[in-house]
Amino acid sequence: MDRIRVALVDDHHVVRRGVRAFLESFADISVVGEAASAEEAFEKLEPWQADVVLMDLLLPGGMDGISATQRLHELGEKPRVVALTAYMDDARVTAALRAGAIGYVRKDALPEVLLEAVRAAGRGQLFLDSFAAEAVLNDSGVGNELTPREREVLLLVARGMSNRQIADALTVGDETVKSHVTAVLGKLGLSQRGQVALWALKHGWVGLDELVE
């Protein structure tokens, strides 16, 4: 089984040690390196060969986590960035996602949420914890009537996943997914599935490069 290669970028040693210990307890994840700043991370990027970078947004030095995320995103498909931060203001969440982060998790989230975010990033799927999703919705000014599960389904539909793929990812039945998709379309006032990606792009849920042709 191929492991997800994860790198940690955070200036707090205790945070890096705790996250490393937790993630390395799972057979499908390998922590390949650590850095205390964005500059250090870019020096080590090539030997790491990381699939996923867990990125703090407030870092010492001349480059913050959002700028580092943008630079990593411009490198290509990998590594994918999951923001791991204490900051949950709407503007910061939106800025991180627009910079190219594929995930956003607050530091006081349950460890299982971080694990889910890392695995989702390893699959190339967008993942927001509930607080980040709420911040995005508040920033967009629409979609607040969606349930947490409907928000998850919306993001996966926007990324081009079929009902079968969504059912597998969320461990639910096909009919359940079909019901959620119908609810999402109705609540957002959309008439067809293909409009979901455009809605998500317009409101900052996904980047243009993430949309499936």
Q: Mind listing the pLDDT tens digit for each residue in 42-55?
A: 999 999 999 999 99
Where do the domains of the chain lie, and which CATH numbers do they carry?
4-136 (3.40.50.2300), 142-210 (1.10.10.10)
Distance CA(167)–CA(176), nearest Å, equals 8
Residue 88 has pLDDT above 80, yes or no: no
The torsion angles phi and psi of 80, rounded to 5 degrees, stand at -95, 145
Helix (H) or strand (E) holding 142: none
- Whole-model pTM over 0.75: no
Q: Which of 14-23, 166-175, 182-191 has the lowest mean pLDDT?
A: 182-191
**% of the chain residues with pLDDT over 70:** 87
Distance CA(155)–CA(26), nearest Å, equals 26
> Token pair for residue 158?
């926007």
Residue 136 has pLDDT above 50, yes or no: yes
Distance CA(157)–CA(151), nearest Å, equals 10
Residue with tokens 């539909």: 157
